[in-house]
């Protein structure tokens, strides 16, 4: 039997919470939404580029968000000396272009691990803590807001991709 993306129970978003808890909860909600859009699909389905000529696929989005989680939380904010995921030096779009149905389980594991490690990199740090990027001073709050925006945009893409693959729609 072919591997299928696992079932996901999406957390409920909070309607009222202190700022840090609200940001963490909305990010977690968007992370689980991306996985929800993938649940039950095979590696082949996850690699479908269902809106030609775009290279977007659900697996590409999972890989891209693993890359983004690592880049923002661990490398830029955390200052960890890590390579970017998916050999982006050779191909800037490798996260989207180099999908492989047989690698889907490993890509999902990488994504989950990067989300956990991103949370760990932010844990215990003030939202006001800053870092420098290309001459700009940014803070951890900015990363949370940026990540929520990034997921919201890509979850919209995921909605369209999933509907095109098998007709499934929903939140």
CA-to-CA distance for 109 and 30, rounded, in angstroms? 17
Structure tokens at 131: 């870092």
Domain ranges of the chain: 72-171
Residue 127 makes CB contacts below 8 A (sequence gap 6+) with 19, 20, 23, 139, 140, 141, 144
pLDDT in tens, 33-60: 999 999 999 999 999 998 778 999 999 9
**Cα dihedral 19→25→28→33 (10° resolution):** -120
* Cα four-point dihedral sign 148, 65, 111, 30: positive
Confidence class for position 92, pLDDT limits 50, 70, 90? confident
pLDDT in tens, 9-37: 988 767 788 999 999 999 999 999 999 99
* Cα four-point dihedral sign 14, 24, 152, 94: negative
């Amino acid at each position: 039997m072919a591997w299928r993306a696992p079932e996901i129970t999406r957390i409920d978003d909070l309607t009222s919470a202190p700022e840090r808890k609200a940001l963490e909860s909305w990010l977690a909600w968007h992370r689980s939404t991306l996985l929800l859009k993938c649940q039950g699909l095979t590696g082949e389905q996850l690699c479908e580029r269902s809106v030609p000529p775009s290279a977007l696929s659900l697996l590409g989005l999972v890989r891209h968000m693993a890359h983004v989680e690592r880049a923002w939380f661990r490398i830029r904010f955390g200052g960890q000396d890590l390579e970017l995921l998916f050999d982006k030096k050779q191909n800037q779009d490798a996260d989207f272009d180099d999908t492989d149905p047989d690698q889907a389980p490993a890509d999902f594991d990488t994504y989950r691990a990067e989300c956990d490690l991103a949370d760990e990199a932010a844990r215990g740090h003030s939202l006001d803590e800053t870092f420098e990027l290309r001459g700009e001073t940014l803070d951890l709050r900015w990363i949370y807001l940026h990540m929520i925006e990034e997921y919201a945009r890509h979850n919209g893409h995921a909605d369209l991709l999933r509907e095109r693959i098998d007709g499934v729609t929903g939140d």
